[in-house]
Amino acid sequence: MTAHQGAQNFSADEFEAKLAETLAAEERLKGREDFLKLLSHEIRTPLNGVMGMMSLLSRTDLSAEQESYIRTARDSGEHLLSMVNDLLDYARIDAGHIELETTRVDLESLLQGVAELLSPRAYSGGIEIVWSLDPRLETIQADEGRLRQILFNLAGNALKFTTTGGVLIHIGLTPESLIRFSVTDTGPGIPLEARSRIFEEYGQVDPKRDAARYGGAGLGLMIVKKLVAAMGGALTLDSEMGIGSTFAVEFRAPYCLRKASVCDMPAQVTLVSANNTLLQGAKAHLSAYGTEVHLSDTTQGPNIILADRSHMAERPITAPGPRCLILLTPEQRAEIPQWRERGWAGYLIKPLRRKSLKEQVEALHSQNPNRATTRPANDDDERITGTDEVKISGEPHVLLVEDNPVNALLAKILLQREGCLVERVCSGEDAIAILPERNFDIVFMDLGLPGIDGLGATRQIRAMNITTPVVALTANAYDEDRRACLQAGMNDFLTKPIEINALRQMLVTWTPRTAQT
């Protein structure tokens, strides 16, 4: 009997019953997703206010004991936000809302972004996070948002269980021409009996211990598994007790190879560090240019020296030679003038960027002191930018469109501290009314406004031929939300709770009265 003949055996009543059952199931899934989205918004809105105010409080004069209390409170808030995000992600994916949008993905930028976003968590735990990219690869055609989510979940999970060493994020090309993403940690390893359980809903290696000790809903790996399946890929795990684990994703995607470049690099450099993960990252970056990395515990020797700050004395020391670079975390940026005063040729910010590392080493190898002591034209600067390195000339006039009074107060204080004149309205209708009458340099627009929401308000503003930059303010950090903002005519996207460096970067990018010195 053919499928067509079998379908004819259904009566009209049976067909309608089946259809109604299917529609009801879809409606239940959508209802659950809508409920969780509403619930997450109701949780995140006050939580963003709490975390933002704690961030402001941390910038005041506090005792060591008070700083400890604030840090613990912020960690708890970030943990709660992470759980809410996981639950919402899972609900959306479980409802079948996995839409893959293929675009050109720059792999170096992708790796760099994920590693740098997770680096504060790594450095606060005393470990390293590094990335490496197959020197043959440059770009692939895939869904960048989903790839970022996969790497972020895998690397974030690895950081959670790693207390020494570090985490290496790698993208490579297999002999079968498959794209391979991998995250390797130096954690405790995963017992054989737990390796299937951790990919299940709410799965933990040790359910009794891990939920209490590490937190989380146990959904991160389940989300990765579903995303990888939607991409037609395979997710694997290789783990050895006491050594660590590697989670790998392999999938097929069109890719472009990197063009060979001509450079003048040394045969070898010396890394002074006790961390093997940092060594792996440096090796991966420099091997692309034919340079070997030798690990040492001393700063003496003829090679160019890359000295890990965590391996050095408590205070900056005199450079042992003219070709020495100090490796710092972003939090150690205040030390840069002291290292320079003591004869160090320069610095590099961790996680190391391949382009920056290559430029600094090449400059030192050239024996040109002007190139060695002047920062090359790289993009490390935004990771070390302090308040005094971004100058606001004049007073940018800002329209803040935010209905929540706590979040509005937080945003207004942060903007005023950056030298801005701030006017606040509480609705999309008010924004639509005031913008044709007044001149503003930039608009910060909440998406979840009552009445006309942020997207609708922006569409009407653009329809009036008003070109003032509009930056979205939202707790939702999904790529589809970002795309919706850009399609509505917004210029950029800022997630809550607002971080001062991200806000400052928006002002630098979109207002004509800011300048980088």
Cα–Cα distance for residue pair 47/482, rounded to 1 Å? 22
Cα–Cα distance for residue pair 257/139, rounded to 1 Å? 7
Cα–Cα distance for residue pair 446/407, rounded to 1 Å? 10
3-state class (DSSP) for residue 404? coil
3-state class (DSSP) for residue 109? helix
Give Cα 284 distance to the centre of its chain.
Answer: 21
Q: What is the pLDDT at residue 384?
A: 55
DSSP H or E run through 121:
helix 107-124
Q: What is the pLDDT at residue 15?
A: 67
Q: What is the pLDDT at residue 513?
A: 57
Q: How many CA atoms does the CB half-sphere of 41 hold within 13 Å?
A: 13
Cα–Cα distance for residue pair 13/19, rounded to 1 Å? 10
Q: What is the pLDDT at residue 40?
A: 67
Task: Read off the amino acid at residue 499.
Answer: E
Q: What is the pLDDT at residue 382?
A: 53
Task: Read off the amino acid at residue 431.
Answer: A
Phi, psi of 5 (to 5 degrees): -65, -40
Of 133, 147, 255, 244, the C-alpha closest to 186 is 244
What residues of the chain score a pLDDT lower than 50? 1-7, 202-217, 368-381, 385-389, 515-517
Q: What is the pLDDT at residue 97?
A: 64
362-370: list long-range contacts, CB under 8 Å, 24+ apart.
Answer: 362/263, 362/264, 362/265, 364/304, 364/323, 364/325, 365/264, 365/265, 365/266, 365/304, 366/264, 369/322
Q: What is the pLDDT at residue 53?
A: 85
Task: Read off the amino acid at residue 428.
Answer: G
Query: What are the distances in angstroms from CA 289 to CA 237, 272, 385?
Result: 31, 20, 29
